[in-house]
Amino acid sequence: SAVISQKPSRDICQRGTSLTIQCQVDSQVTMMFWYRQQPGQSLTLIATANQGSEATYESGFVIDKFPISRPNLTFSTLTVSNMSPEDSSIYLCSVEDLKYEQYFGPGTRLTVT
Amino acid sequence: DAKTTQPPSMDCAEGRAANLPCNHSTISGNEYVYWYRQIHSQGPQYIIHGLKNNETNEMASLIITEDRKSSTLILPHATLRDTAVYYCIVRVFNDYKLSFGAGTTVTVRA
């Protein structure tokens, strides 16, 4: 299984600012995903990030708010832009292996004040 | 639109088998049943998946009914570390989207 790390593990940010979250995988993967988990809720897929192409966003999520980069097969970033308290969530990245099993990172806990 | 139905919570005794039910009555022929769990403050962890045959790995067993409308995840000897939210998800094998429902909060008690 893939080993995934995320930075930062947590942060407290002021409204109106932006935060970039990094996701690093210990092996090359084609598909990487970004999820959001709001307090007390389940996970919601934000977007899919494939290397060499623009990210594909799910309904309700837009590139201006959540720009994503995927410069190579082991790394991706998600930026949460112009933050408001409603963006306070855990943000998780995941990857899928050739057996169609997804593995998740530990998450980034974001609090917006 | 939820594709699976799970009980919101269940308790089980440490050392006993935990049987977690999942209803997926509208499952399509090309959809697999996946199970994940999320221990508090951690990312979800893959457990097991199957199509129609029963599956077993080092973590759990998955029993799928013959009509595929329901399944049961079995943790053979539950430990306190198995306390988590367990998610039953159906997905087309090569469709990456995982739609997480509310899951079942499992509490293992000593």
CA angle A64, B100, A86 (to 5 degrees): 40
Confidence of residue A28 (pLDDT cuts 50, 70, 90): very high
Q: How confident is the model over A67-104, as pLDDT tens digits?
A: 999 999 999 999 999 999 999 999 999 998 888 889 99
Q: HSE, CB side, 13 Å, CA atoms: give it for residue A94.
A: 29
Mean pLDDT for all residues in chain B = 93
User: Any CB–CB contact under 8 A between A57 and chain B?
Assistant: no
Distance CA A103, CA B3 (A): 21
3-class DSSP state of A10: strand
Q: Residue B20 above 80 pLDDT?
A: yes
Beta strand pairing call for A68-72 and A89-96 = unpaired
Contact yes or no for B96 and A31 at CB 8 A:
yes
Chain B interface includes A43 (CB < 8 A): yes
What does the pLDDT look like over B71-110, one tens digit per residue? 999 999 999 999 999 999 999 877 888 889 999 999 999 9
Q: How far is Cα A58 from Cα A91, in angstroms, rounded to an integer?
A: 15
Task: Choose among A85, A88, A91, A95: nearest CA to A106.
Answer: A91
* pLDDT at B1 exceeding the cut of 60: no
Among chain B residues, the shortest Cα distance to A92 is held by B43
Q: Could you tell me if B37 and B47 are in contact, meaning their C-beta atoms sit under 8 angstroms apart? A: yes
The pLDDT value recorded for residue B2 is 54
The pLDDT value recorded for residue A51 is 82
Q: Rounded to 5 degrees, what angle do the CA atoms B22, B66, B79 make?
A: 40
Closest by Cα among B54, B55, B49, B75 to B66: B54
Tell me which residues of chain A, numbers 8 to 27, contact chain B at a CB-CB cutoff of 8 Å. none
Could you tell me if A47 and A62 are in contact, meaning their C-beta atoms sit under 8 angstroms apart? no
Cα–Cα distance list, B93 to A100, B50, B97 (Å): 7, 10, 10
**Rounded to an integer, what distance in angstroms lies between the CA atom of residue A34 and that of residue A93?**
4
